[in-house]
Amino acid sequence: MVRRLPVSSSSQSPSSDTRECRCEDPQPPGYLGGCTIWRTRIACCVNPSMNPDEMLQRFRAVVAYDGTEFAGFQAQEHVGRPVRTVQAALEHAVLLATGYSARVVGAGRTDRGVHASGQVVHFDLPVACALRGTGMLSALNSRLPPDLRVLVIEPVSADFHARFSATSRCYRYTIENSVVGLPTNRRSAWNVRRPLSVIAMNEALGRIIGSHDFAAFGVRVGSDPTRRVVLRAHASITGVPRTGAVCSSDAAPDPSVGRAVSGEIWHTSRQCDPHCEPAASIVVIEVEANAFLRHMMRRLVGTLVRVGHLRVAPDVMDTLLVVPSRGLVGPAAPPHGLCLVHVAYDGIRLSPRYRASPGS
């Protein structure tokens, strides 16, 4: 149930002072209606015979965040104290903007350090709430921290559920394939020094498309099944020149220097001058599936890097999907290179600006 709470400008999480509205409590003589705990007029108190579900409006929102300073999406506590999470920050902003406490539900529970550019959430507010459209968008963003923003918000039917109505999620992992990583990429890309074969990585990715058991890559929660359906998986690469200098040396090739050509790493045909910085390569891995196991995407990327380094053959994926073996799985890639870029729903088309790619 949505609860009307006293609004405070404190940055303390609302979850620490929220209590249920108990409308059945005895009301004092002459009380004009409202919760006997919070002394505010809300619909369920003014007219107890009304069904609370009939008075609520559900909202869907697309949110983006830099996950570096968040302990993940889901609200949680550490030693009895709330920690900084995306869900808690959104719920606090809703409280400050509307005066109502509402539970925010996300499509994906991203881990600590994981980013999002297309996370989808929903929450319910009383129909009496005056904020609508761009007014609510501005009100929420003005109360959110700078590393969290609401991109789109719109009313939806009550049967929409951000998590259970979703038909697929798309995650993108970014690797900076360079001997020296740029400081500007340190929060959003994993710096891998050795050259990667993207052709080998794509061959491995092609083997995971379809319905498979990903127990080797994910963490099972209770008795939940580990079979997932991968709809699309692809790795792409682009070259990023560090300087405008041109190498002029005619010395022998240096196998440590790589460039991107037609989706593959190739070595330069000449030795670069010591004062000329080698080109970097940005490798982007996108996987779209009906759902993901916890750590599944990061362990997939860790295994793909081993394939890209030619340490294991691409057909290692066939083995792992049939006989789960953690010994063959690469270490989980760091969380900061991962981003939730798109969540799809049947019959719902958000602005193309927030889609993972033109083909998604």
DSSP-derived 3-state class of residue 2: coil
State the burial class of residue 86 (Cβ atoms within 10 Å of its Cβ: 0-12, 13-18, 19+): buried
Please name the amino acid found at residue 54. E
Using the structure block, give the residue that is written with the tokens 């059945």. Answer: 24
Q: One of 111, 159, 250, 315 is an active-site residue; which one?
A: 111
Tokens of 242: 């560090």
Residues 6+ apart with CB under 8 A from 184: none
Task: Measure the CA dihedral 39/41/44/47, to 10°.
Answer: 120
Distance CA 137, CA 53 (A): 24
User: Is 111 designated active site?
Assistant: yes
Q: Are β-strands 190-192 and 166-177 bridged in parallel, bridged antiparallel, or unpaired?
A: parallel
Task: Measure the CA dihedral 84/86/90/96, to 10°.
Answer: 20
Strands (E), 66-216: 77-78, 81-82, 100-101, 105-106, 115-126, 148-156, 166-177, 190-192, 210-213
Strands (E), 141-220: 148-156, 166-177, 190-192, 210-213
Residues 6+ apart with CB under 8 A from 243: 276, 277
Question: How many CB atoms lie under 10 A from the CB of residue 177?
Answer: 27
Q: Are β-strands 77-78 and 81-82 bridged in parallel, bridged antiparallel, or unpaired?
A: antiparallel
Using the structure block, give the residue that is written with the tokens 């990583």. Answer: 181
Overall residue count recorded for the chain in this entry: 360
> Dihedral sign, CA of 197, 303, 295, 233?
positive
Active site positions, annotated: 111
